């Protein structure tokens, strides 16, 4: 394989993207998610309907045994590690741009989530956590007693 001289503008763009990620991490504490140790923060989508809240997290090349998913109080915590497979011939690498190491993401759960009814699956590098809502958002008639 021929070694190609790096494009200085591309190098600057990659450095800018890394700096942007670090600044985003430093501001994360002010938006409800505490700044945690580790540079790698997997991308997350969170959406809901009247029955459930769904959290999807990209975890490529993370083994299921290296993912810890639990609830503390009213906080969903997902943490783990993506390991860099070290080969004896590291000098053959021309570039390592993907992030490796530990990660920790935490999300405050609303009171409508039933913490006892949580399902999680991991398929093709995407962790999907489904949190059912209490009463599934169904309307309930309340009788008024005579005083």
User: Residue 86: pLDDT above 80?
Assistant: no
Task: Say whether 24 sits in a helix, a strand or coil.
Answer: helix
User: What average pLDDT does the segment 26-50 reach?
Assistant: 68
Helix, strand and coil content of the chain, in percent to the nearest 5, comes to: 25, 35, 40
Please give the mean pLDDT across all residues of the chain.
Answer: 81
pLDDT of residue 88: 55
- Higher confidence at residue 29 or residue 23? 23
Structure tokens at 74: 């009213």
State the pTM of this model.
0.66
**Cβ pair 102, 38 in contact under 8 A:** yes
Min mean pLDDT across 29-33, 42-46, 132-136 is at 29-33
Residues 3-22 pLDDT 10s: 566 677 877 887 887 787 77
pLDDT of residue 24: 67
What residue ranges define each of the domains in the chain, with the CATH number in brackets?
36-137 (2.60.40.790)
User: Residue 36: pLDDT above 80?
Assistant: no
The dihedral sign for the CA sequence 30, 31, 32, 34: negative
pLDDT of residue 144: 84
User: What average pLDDT does the segment 104-131 reach?
Assistant: 92
User: What average pLDDT does the segment 68-86 reach?
Assistant: 89
Identify which of 100-104, 128-132, 143-147 has the greatest average pLDDT. 128-132
């Amino acid at each position: 394989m021929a070694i190609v001289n790096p494009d200085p503008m591309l190098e600057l763009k990659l450095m800018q993207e890394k700096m942007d990620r670090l600044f985003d991490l430093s501001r994360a504490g002010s938006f409800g998610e505490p700044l945690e140790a580790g540079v790698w923060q997997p991308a997350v989508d969170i959406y809901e309907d009247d029955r459930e809240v769904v959290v999807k997290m990209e975890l490529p090349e993370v083994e299921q045994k290296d993912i810890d998913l639990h609830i503390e109080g009213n906080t969903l915590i997902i943490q783990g590690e993506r390991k860099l497979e070290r080969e004896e011939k590291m000098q053959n690498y021309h570039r390592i741009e993907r992030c490796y190491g530990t990660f920790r993401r935490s999300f405050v759960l609303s009171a409508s989530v039933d913490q006892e009814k949580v399902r999680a699956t991991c398929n093709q590098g995407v962790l999907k956590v489904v949190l059912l809502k209490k009463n599934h958002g169904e309307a309930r008639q309340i009788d008024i007693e005579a005083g």
